[in-house]
A and B are shown apart, each in its own frame.
Chain A
Amino acid sequence: MAERGGVREGLRAYRMIAGMWVRSGMTYRVSFVVTLLGNLVMTGLDFVGILLMFSQVDSLAGWSLPEVAFLYAASVTSFGLAHLAAGSMTQLGSRIRDGSFDVLLVRPVPVLAQVGGDRFSLRRFGRVAQGGVVLGWALVAADVDWTVSKALLVPLMVVSGAAIFMAVFVAGAAFQIYAQDAAEVQNAFTYGGTTMLQYPPAVFGKDLVRGVTFVLPLAFVNWVPAAHVLGRPYPLALPGWAAFASPLVAAGCCALAGLAWRTGLRSYRSVGS
């Protein structure tokens, strides 16, 4: 019971902190609109890169443009949602270095909620919007033999993918408690992960695909469910039900990330500044 109360309290605190940052961000409306648009353009450049590639070739590792666009959009939308909710976690290291992390620890509010809501910004919605638009186009343009289960799998995939990326953000934040100056390692897994998932699994070496399936299960963000939707062979010849395993994988990742976060927090030592 205490646990459930803690989660509710955490979510409430998160909403309040995020809301405060949204109000503060809205103070300069023009600046907000400009940065939102900037975010849209910046994240869209990856897709322009893919379009440029397809101006030179008809397929990439046997996947057509709409199919690659589907992978791209699923990865970007999931990542965008996770980044919207928990992107501030990357800045934990700088909070530890300047000592302001200690202030969060003494407040009677769950620390994870404070770190997650810290500097919450709606301009990050640009990535979600851009991913959503490409996803819509890809769903129409790709040659999909639609069934009810496939139609349900698409939203399930996006939400589970967001939860998996969120777990990576939290685990990365826990790692930053140990290695205070290493925010970039986290970037390798978050930004690197979403970049990798934009391309067909067949592009990458077998060992790399194994790694992101069984060790850090990013493959369940989009590769495995997308293989089912598009009627493509599953990576690593996984069984058919694996396409629907994303929510389970996401739950497992979140549990492990929570554990890592608690362990990290317990071992935290202030830098004393």
Chain B
Amino acid sequence: MYLAVAVRGFRRYASYRAATAAGVFTNTVFGLILVYTYLALWDERPDLGGYDQAQAVTYVWLGQCLFAALALQGGGVEAELMERIRTGEIAVDLYRPADLQLWWLAGDLGRAVFQLLGRGVVPFLVGGLFFPTALPSRFDTWAWFAVALALAAVVSFAIRYLMALSVFWLLDGTGVSQVMMILGAFFSGMVLPLNVFPGGFGDVARALPWAAQLQVPADVLMGETAVAGAFAFQAVWAVVLLAAGRLVQSAATRRVVVQGG
């Protein structure tokens, strides 16, 4: 059943063709701007954050590739979930003979796969064609990268699900979405790779769950980190956040008063 929900999520996003093409264009333009900025930065300080220029470039295009798929600044199924909580339609979901969290997770994973293929691959290829990148040639590195991506998708969902549930108390999702955008842009490393963040601030940023979404997969792909440690970091955050989501969910559903009408 959850597979069917995931397929439905994939199909739904696949129907917005013009929007997908427009997204590809935007991600490519932003990638170009960032690449030039990073090249200037790494010209000034080669080996900044332990990356060489090719790795910095790879990091930029990976960020553009994953931006929509991992909904790094929000914009996944949680937007719809918040709307359903606000309007009360969530009551219908609660009566389904399915687990609420798994239901939405399946839908979000379907969405993520579509946006990775539809929106992410092209900017990544453009980047690889026109700029020197540091992509691995070994098959097993790519396989590890795929695992890291899957874990990243779960962590990403778990963060957004938890935040969306707060609408049960806040009744309006605008503020939460904004907080999610701010934290996501900064601590996932979209603004600047987290390994460039200086000192103790950098240590904190690299320990937060947002690091599991872009920084960790990037380092796995470029062989900058031990694979086992990276997976453990992602898995621990996934479990902790999903469990927290369950707790909040059961507290929230006790609050729901179904009104007739």
Query: Is the Cβ of B40 less than 8 Å from the Cβ of A203?
Result: yes
Query: Is the Cβ of A184 less than 8 Å from the Cβ of B19?
Result: yes
Any A CB within 8 A of the CB of B2:
no
Residues of B within 8 A of A61 (CB): 40, 43
Query: Is the Cβ of B22 less than 8 Å from the Cβ of A56?
Result: no
Query: Is the Cβ of A31 less than 8 Å from the Cβ of B174?
Result: yes
Cα distance A51–B176 in the bound complex, in angstroms: 26
Known A-B contacts A45-B182, A60-B44; the reply to A182 vs B29 at CB < 8 A is no
A106 to chain B, nearest CB (A): 26
Any B CB within 8 A of the CB of A180:
yes
Query: Is the Cβ of B33 less than 8 Å from the Cβ of A187?
Result: no
The stretch of A4-12, A155-163, A188-196, A223-231 that contacts the partner chain: A188-196
Query: Is the Cβ of B191 less than 8 Å from the Cβ of A35?
Result: no
The stretch of B90-98, B152-160, B192-200, B235-243 that contacts the partner chain: B192-200
Any B CB within 8 A of the CB of A181:
yes
Known A-B contacts A38-B182, A55-B198; the reply to A184 vs B25 at CB < 8 A is yes
Query: Is the Cβ of A31 less than 8 Å from the Cβ of B40?
Result: no
Query: Is the Cβ of A192 less than 8 Å from the Cβ of B30?
Result: yes
Any B CB within 8 A of the CB of A105:
no
Chain A interface residue count, CB cutoff 8 Å, equals: 40
B198 to chain A, nearest CB (A): 5
Query: Is the Cβ of A53 less than 8 Å from the Cβ of B41?
Result: yes
Any B CB within 8 A of the CB of A49:
yes
Cα distance A184–B29 in the bound complex, in angstroms: 11
| Nearest CB in chain B to that of A184: its residue | B22
Any A CB within 8 A of the CB of B260:
no
Contact check: which of A34, A58, A184 meets B23 at CB < 8 Å?
A184
Task: How many A-B residue pairs have C-beta atoms within 8 angstroms? Tell me.
Answer: 103
Interface residues of B in 151-201 (CB under 8 A from A): 172, 174-175, 178-179, 181-182, 185-186, 191-192, 196-198
Contact with A along B128-168 (1 / 0, CB 8 A): 00000000000000000000000000000000000000000
Any B CB within 8 A of the CB of A142:
no
Residues of B within 8 A of A183 (CB): 19, 22
Query: Is the Cβ of B45 less than 8 Å from the Cβ of A60?
Result: no
Query: Is the Cβ of A60 less than 8 Å from the Cβ of B40?
Result: yes
| Nearest CB in chain A to that of B198: its residue | A55
Query: Is the Cβ of B26 less than 8 Å from the Cβ of A60?
Result: no
Cα distance A181–B39 in the bound complex, in angstroms: 33
Residues of B within 8 A of A154 (CB): none
| Nearest CB in chain A to that of B24: its residue | A184
Contact with A along B27-56 (1 / 0, CB 8 A): 001101100110111011100100000000
Query: Is the Cβ of B29 less than 8 Å from the Cβ of A192?
Result: yes
Cα distance A205–B186 in the bound complex, in angstroms: 27
Query: Is the Cβ of A199 less than 8 Å from the Cβ of B37?
Result: yes
Residues of A within 8 A of B (CB): 31, 34-35, 38-39, 41-42, 45-46, 48-49, 52-53, 55-61, 179-185, 187-188, 191-192, 195-196, 199-200, 202-205, 208
